[in-house]
Amino acid sequence: MLQDIRDRSQSLIVKIIIGFIVVTFALFGVDALVTSFNSSETVAEVDGQEITRTQVLQAADTQRRQLIAMMGNNIDPSLLDENLLQRRALDSLIELTVLKNQASNLELGVSDAQIDNLLVSAEQFQTDGVFDQNKYINTIRSLGFTPLAYKDRIKESYVLSQLNSALTESEFTLPSQINAISELQNQKRTYEYVQLSLADQTEQTDVTDAELKSYFDEHQQEFVSPEQVKLSYVVVTSDSFKEDVKVTDQELQNAYQTEIAGMDTEERDASHILIDTSNRSDEDAKAILVDIQSKLAGGESFASLAKEYSEDPGSKDTGGELGFVSKGIMDESFETALFAMNVGDVQEVETQYGFHLIRLNAIDKADVPTLSELTDQLTADLIARKVKDALLDAQENIADLAYASDELTPLAEEYNLKVETTAYFGKEGGNDSISSEPAVISAAFSDSVMQDGQNSDPIELGDDKIVVIHVEDHKVESPLPFDEAKPEIASKLIKEKAESVINEKAEQLLVSASESADWKKVELAPRGQDEVTSLVFSMPHPQGDGSENAVKSLVNGDVVAVKLLDVVVGDLDSDATRTEAYTRFLTQNQAQLNSASHLRLMKNNAKVEQ
C-alpha cells in the first residue's frame, strides 16, 4: 500500500506542477511543421471556438511520437492505430479548449517577463548552470517550434496551470482520515492456506485427438494466420553525409578555444586567517587584523598566527592551509584577490563570512593540450555534429522524394543507398531492427501505405536515422489448418483442464475436514508480506467465530485455498515521515478527483458540436 501511495503521489505531483504544460505540448508539439497546411475544415466547435482537422492530425502525430519515445520497442502497436490516436487527440483538444475558455473568462494571465525567467531558469536549457541559447534553439526546433510559438505555448500552459492550481492546492485532510489510513496500513491478518501447483497438475493431464478436433471445429475463427506484410525500405543515416562534410581550420580553431576555455589551467595554493564578523563589529574585526599583520611584520609565521586567531574551523588547525584551489570554487571577492596575487603576498579581503588575510603559497599551471593533440577528437566531434545537422536539413528533400514516387529507387539513388527488404511480419512486429520498430509497424499497416501502395512519410528512428518504407507484399488473414493449430489447442486445453482440477481440489479442501491436507498457518502477517498475504488482504473480515474462506489464483497459475481466521486492527503510526506520506497521498488523491470533476463539469456546461 505504501508503494501505491508513493507511485500515485509522484504521478499526481507531476500532474499538478506540469500537467497542463505536458498536455499542451502533446497537442501542439509540431505546430511549426504543419503551419503551411492551414486547413479550415472544422471538425468540432467548443462554445464557438473551432477545432480544425489540421489540429487533430498534428495532435495525433505528436501523441504517436511521444508514445514511441516513452515506450520504445515495448509499445503495443495497437496504441498507434491512426483512428484511435485521432479520437484521443480530438477529445484532448476539446478538453483543452474548454479550460482555455474558462481561463479567459476568469481573465487569468502571465507577463512576458515571468515566461522569460521561467525559460532562462529551466535546467534543460542550461549548460553548467547557465542558460545556453544554442541548446534552447535546438531543443525547441526538435519539438517543431519556432521561438515565438514555443513562448506562446509556454504562456498558455502557465495560465492553465493557474486554473488547475486554484483547485488542487486548496485541498486538506482531517486527522481522522490520517488515522484511518494508518490503521489500515498497519493491520495484521492470521490465516491458513494450501497451495496447489498448476505445473504439477499440467504434467498429469492429457487430451485426446477427438477433444482437440472438437475444439478446433467449434473455435475455427480463433485459429488464423495473421495479416502480414513484407517491406522494402531505405534507411538514411547521418553517416550518409560524412563524405560531404568538411571541417575548416577556423572551425577547428574555434572548437579548440572552446575546449581549453573550460579547462582549469591554473591552481593556487593558499592559506588564510578568517576573522568572523557575525558576532563582532567590522571595526573590532579590523583591529584584530591590524594586530595579526603587525605580528607577521615582526617575523611570526602565518601558520602559527592562523592557529591562534583564525575562526575557520576547517583550516585553523592546519595553519590556515586551504590547499590548491581553482577558479569557480571560492567566494568571488576571495577568488579575485587570490588570482591577482604573487607568490608570498599577503592580502586583506572582505567576504560574506568576515575579513580574511590571504597568503599565496604557490602557483601550479596545468599543461594545456595543444591543438595538434586535440585535432582528431575535435574533428570527430565536429563531423558528428555536422552530419546530424545535415540529416536534419535533408528531411524535407527525403519527404519530397518519398512523396513524388511510388518506388524507393529515386530516394536510394539520391543518397547512394540500397533498397533493403524485411521478412513477412504481422501487427506484432518482426525480428529485425526495422520491422520491430512501433512507428514502422504502424505506418506499414496504415491505409496509405498498405492499401494505396504509397511510400511512407519519413520515419525518425532516433536522432541519426530516418527510414522510408514501401509494402512489397501483403498477405491477408487466413484460416489455419487443423495440423498447424493442434499444438496451440493442446496447450490451451491441457492448461484449462489442469486449472479446473486444482480449483476443484481447492474448493473441496475448504469444505472437507481432511487432516491430510498440508495446511500452513501464518500468524499476524503484515500487509504486503508476500503474494499470498496480499490476496488475503483482499478478503472481507470473517464473521463471528468462523473463518472467511476463498480460492485464489497466484501469478504463476497456482491456486491457494485460504482460510482467513482473524483480523487485528493496526496501531496508529507514530512515524512522522509515514504520516506525512499518508497526508500527501490523501490530499493529492482528492485534488486529482476534484480536478477531474471540474473538467467534467466544464465539458457538460460547454456547447460542444462535433
Higher pLDDT, 78 or 447: 447
User: What share of the chain in percent tops pLDDT 90?
Assistant: 41
Cell of residue 578, nine digits: 509515514
Q: pLDDT value at position 443?
A: 92
Specify the pLDDT at position 513: 59
Q: What's the rounded Cα separation, in Å, for the pair 384 and 405? A: 31
Strands of 326-403 (E only): list them: 346-351, 354-365
- The C-alpha atoms of residue 599 and residue 291 are separated, in whole angstroms, by 72
CA atoms within 13 A on the CB side of 495: 9
The reply to whether CATH 3.10.50.40 applies to domain 264-365 is yes
User: What is the pLDDT at residue 408?
Assistant: 95
Alpha carbons 162 and 100: distance in angstroms, whole number: 11
Q: What is the end-to-end Cα distance of the chain in Å, rounded?
A: 42
pLDDT over 70 percentage in the chain: 91
β partners of residue 49 = 46
Q: Look at residue 264 in the predicted model and tell me its pLDDT.
A: 55
Lowest mean pLDDT among 21-25, 137-141, 367-371, 443-447: 21-25
> Which of the pair, 264 or 436, is modelled with greater confidence?
436
Which of 454, 561, 555 has the alpha carbon at shortest distance from 503? 561
Band (pLDDT 50/70/90 cuts) for residue 3 is very low
Helix intervals (H) in 47-130: 53-71, 82-105, 112-121
* Beta bridge partner(s), residue 321: 271
Report CA 499 to chain centroid distance, whole Å.
Answer: 39
Phi, psi at 273, each rounded to 5°? -125, 120
Strand ranges of the sheet holding 559-568, from the earlier edge strand across to the other edge:
520-526, 188-196, 559-568, 548-553
Q: Looking at this protein, which amino acid is placed at residue 75?
A: I
Residue 166's CB is within 10 A of a number of other CB atoms, namely: 12
Packed helices 576-605 and 2-28: angle between N→C axes, nearest 10 degrees: 40
Residue written as grid cell 495446511? 519
Residue with cell 457538460: 604
Give yes or no for residue 263 having a pLDDT over 80: no
Q: Which of 18-27, 371-380, 531-540 has the lowest mean pLDDT?
A: 18-27
Distance CA 548, CA 561 (A): 11
> Over the stretch 272-295, which tens digit does the pLDDT of each residue have?
999 999 889 999 999 999 999 999
**What DSSP string runs through 312-324?**
-TTTGGGTTEEEE
- How far from the centroid of its chain's Cα atoms is residue 79's Cα? 18
pLDDT of residue 27: 38
**What is the rounded distance in angstroms from the CA atom of residue 393 to the CA atom of residue 388?**
9
Q: Write down the residue that cell numbers 477427438 correspond to.
A: 210
Residue type at 515 in one-letter notation? E
Q: Over the stretch 123-181, which tens digit does the pLDDT of each residue have?
A: 888 888 888 777 887 788 766 677 787 888 888 888 888 888 887 777 888 888 888 88
Enumerate the domain spans of the chain.
Answer: 2-172+588-609, 188-223+481-568, 228-248+373-479, 264-365
- Has domain 228-248+373-479 been given CATH number 3.10.50? yes
pLDDT at 68 over 50: yes
Q: What's residue 13's pLDDT?
A: 35
Report pLDDT digits (tens) over 210-223. Answer: 999 999 999 988 89
User: CA dihedral defined by 382, 384, 387, 392, rounded to 10 degrees?
Assistant: -110
Q: What is the pLDDT of residue 265?
A: 65
The phi, psi pair for 359, rounded to 5°, reads: -120, 130
Taking the C-alpha atoms of residue 588 and residue 19, their distance in angstroms, rounded to an integer, is 14
In the prediction, which pLDDT does 18 show? 37
Same fold: 2-172+588-609 with 228-248+373-479: no
Question: Cell triple for residue 67?
Answer: 508514445
In whole numbers, what is the pLDDT of the chain averaged over residues?
85
CATH architecture designation of domain 2-172+588-609: Orthogonal Bundle (1.10)
Lowest mean pLDDT among 20-24, 41-45, 394-398, 486-490: 20-24
Closest by alpha carbon to 321, among 267, 268, 270, 266? 270
Instruction: Provide the pLDDT for residue 327.
Output: 78
